[in-house]
Amino acid sequence: MNLKALQKLCYGVYIISSKKDGKFNGQIANTAFQITSEPPTLAVSINKQNLTHDYIVSSRVFTVSILSKFAPMTLIGRFGFKSGRDIDKFADTGHRTGTTGAPIVLDNAVGYLECEVLSMTDVGTHTVFIGKVIDCDVLGDAEPMTYAYYHTVKGGKSPKTAPTYVKEDSRPAGPVEWRSTPVRTCTSWSPPGA
């Protein structure tokens, strides 16, 4: 089974944020999608190990900031590869507080959606939160960043907690090339790296 087929699905790059006890946290996610239009609902998939997961479970609200393809890797790195347990991700990030009290990231965002949780579904390592959109707006006209753009143009990687993480295969890609290796007086064949 070639799990890389899953990487052919289309995704965006978003910052999912929430609040708890007067504090804010957020994380990069690629799994956010509209479920219904009347009323508008949205689903996000968040790893249970992430602090943002705890904040959403506690507050039952979240925001989705849709990143532009021009978002710098420093912003993605802050929200995608650093923990809110160690740093304040919002300290140097342009944001505002939404209707629910959850933060909305404004830096390099083309739009946002603010949601109240309707239901939570445990899917093993992750929880899928379904939220009713209670506020949203367009913040800019730039093209949204796709996950494919993040990987191919920006050279981005997926953290192990991402729902789309695929462990890199250590085997060489493509056909195996054979080479001869001298062993005493005879010749033997072995694959590269053997």
| Dihedral angle computed from the Cα positions of residues 86, 157, 52 and 120, in that order, rounded to the nearest 10 degrees | -160
C-beta separation of 124 from 49 below 8 A: no
Beta pairing partners, 32: 44
pLDDT average, residue stretch 168-183:
43
- CB contact set of 171 (below 8 Å; sequence gap of 6+): none
C-beta separation of 114 from 96 below 8 A: no
C-beta separation of 13 from 150 below 8 A: yes
- CB contact set of 168 (below 8 Å; sequence gap of 6+): none
Q: What is the largest CA-CA distance in the chain?
A: 79
Dist CA 61 CA 32 (whole Å): 14
pLDDT value of residue 156: 59
Percentage of the chain surpassing pLDDT 70?
79
Q: Assess whether pLDDT exceeds 50 at residue 176.
A: no
Each residue of 68-93: pLDDT tens digit? 999 999 999 999 989 999 999 999 99
What are the structural domains of the chain? 3-190 (2.30.110.10)
- Nearest partner of 125 among 148, 78, 159, 157, judged by Cα: 159
Each residue of 86-120: pLDDT tens digit? 999 999 999 999 999 999 999 999 999 999 999 99
C-beta separation of 47 from 122 below 8 A: no
pLDDT average, residue stretch 37-56:
96
Cis preceding-peptide flag for 72 (omega within 30 of 0): no
